[in-house]
Each structure stands twice: as C-alpha cells, then as structure tokens.
C-alpha cells in the first residue's frame, strides 16, 4: 500500500485509483440502497398489517 498510486488523467481531471474506487463505490452503494429490498416487520402491536 505504500507504493505510489496510479492516477487517471482525463482532461483536467486527475484522480488516483483509490479515490476513484471510493467515489465509485459510494455511487454503487447508493444505488444498491435504493433498490435492495428492506426487511420489514409488517405487523404493528395489534397484529394488523
């Protein structure tokens, strides 16, 4: 991990691969959170749905 990171150069953008992975990972995580089914207790105290 101590060797220098690889950098992506695209126009005026210069970003390290680790940083790109973090940001890309965040977008993916947000997308998953949007669509993944959420486990839900669907009974309230009275046993109604």
Partner 1 sequence: MKTMQTQEEYYSGVRMLRYDLLKELVLAVAGVGIVVLGLSAFLSSPDVAPVTIATWAQNDPVDFETTATNELAGSTTSAAYGNPYNTNGPGQSWGPLAPQKWFGTRIPIDSANEFVIQPLQRAASSNTALSAQLDVWQKASSDQQGKWTAAYSAALATATVKDGQVTVADGDYGPLPVMMSNLLGLAQAGGLDGLLQVNGRFYQTDYTPSLVFMGDGGYLPGLAHQANLTGSQWGMMNETGSYPGQTWLWLYTMWYQVPPFNSSTGFLGINSGNADLGIIILMTLLTAALALVPFIPILRDIPRWIPIHRLIWRAYYSPKVRP
Partner 2 sequence: MDTTKPGPSSWTLRVRQLLERRLPMDHLLPDRQPYYVGSWVYVFGVITIAAVGWVVLSGVVLAFMGPQWWHDSRLGRFFNSMHFWSVQLFFIFMVLHLWGQYFMAGWRHGRASTWLIGVVIFGISILTAFTGYLSQQNFDAQYIAINAKDAMNAAGAGAFFNVLNFGQMYGLHVMLLPIGVILLVALHIVMVRMRGVVKPIDAEGAARS
| Footprint of partner 2 (CB under 8 A) | 22, 25-26, 29-30, 32-34, 36, 38, 40, 42, 44-45
Tokens read off for 36: 């993944």
Closer to partner 2 by CB, 11 or 32: give it. 32
Distance CA 8, CA 24 (A): 14
Distance CA 18, CA 12 (A): 18
Q: How far is the CB of 39 from partner 1 (least distance, A)?
A: 11
The binder of 16, among partner 1, partner 2, none, by C-beta within 5 to 8 A per type, is: partner 1
């Amino acid at each position: 991990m101590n060797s220098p990171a690889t950098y992506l150069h695209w126009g005026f953008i210069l970003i390290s691969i680790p940083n790109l992975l973090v940001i890309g990972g965040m977008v993916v995580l947000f997308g998953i959170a949007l669509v993944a089914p959420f486990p839900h207790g669907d009974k309230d105290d009275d046993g109604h749905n």
